[in-house]
Amino acid sequence: MAVIFSIGACGQPSYEVTHIDARHIEVKPSTPSSSEMDDYLLPMVDSMSAVMDRVISYSPQYADKYEGRLGAWLADVSIEEVEKYMAEKGERVNIDIALFNNGGIRTQMPKGDITVGWVYEFMPFDNAYVILEMDNAAMREMFKYLSSAASRGTYHPLGGMRMVYDKNGNWDRTTTIGQWRLTPGKVYTVLTSDFLHKGGDGMSFFSRATNVRYLPYKMRDGIMNYVTSHGTLKIPQNHRYHEIQ
């Protein structure tokens, strides 16, 4: 005996959103913990701590980003590491200036042990280094931007130069790059980040740059390479900004 099943065709059901309900759940110290979640996360926390808590260097002094010396350290480290990186690639590059943004620094330099975790806290972003060239007109725009920010108490990380300005935010002609004042006709090699080259933090003067080269070298990797290869870190004592009366 044969049994025949007949399946009738039917259209796909259609759905539409009729209501959305959302609520804010704040996690704070008083929030009850979950033993089940704690047990689940513990192995990952332990393995992460084993990496992040590893001591890789030492700082004999404290520095924060607000008074400028920590930014100077970042700029100097970046120049050294990028010039070394390029040399390893078979190309000699002499960087005149390094400029980054104060907001990119996310923590202070502690006095004492420096860990892997500190590097990630200091530079949590995946910004990469960029080498570019700027002529006198672009440099003047940069000076105007930096002097205005400095007069308001914001010292962007700066290496290779001394920014001189007045209390009204005007840059002074005694500003020097290396040992020299701005030289007519000279093109300067500048190191910055991809974020700033694209106009981040209002640094629109970078749009005037030429011979722009994006490097496959993250800032955090450069910092990590420097810190792990230096047993003791030295914070620059010379301030890169000088206000004249």
The CATH number covering residue 111 comes to: 3.90.780.10
For residue range 71-94, list pLDDT tens digits in order: 999 999 999 999 999 999 999 999
Whether 56 maps to a domain, the answer reads yes
Whether 85 maps to a domain, the answer reads yes
Partnered with residue 59 across adjacent β-strands are 112
Helix (H), strand (E) at residue 98: strand 97-99
Whether 181 maps to a domain, the answer reads yes
For residue range 1-43, list pLDDT tens digits in order: 444 444 445 566 788 888 888 887 777 777 777 777 766 666 6
Whether 35 maps to a domain, the answer reads no
The total number of structural domains that make up the chain: 1
Whether 6 maps to a domain, the answer reads no
Cβ atoms 98, 76 nearer than 8 A = yes
pLDDT at residue 43, rounded to an integer: 66
pTM of the entire predicted model: 0.82
pLDDT at residue 152, rounded to an integer: 96
pLDDT at residue 90, rounded to an integer: 97
For residue range 117-164, list pLDDT tens digits in order: 999 999 999 999 999 999 999 999 999 999 999 999 999 999 999 999
Domain range holding 55? Answer: 51-237
Report how far apart, in Å, the C-alpha atoms of 208 and of each of 93, 137, 203, 239 are.
20, 9, 11, 27
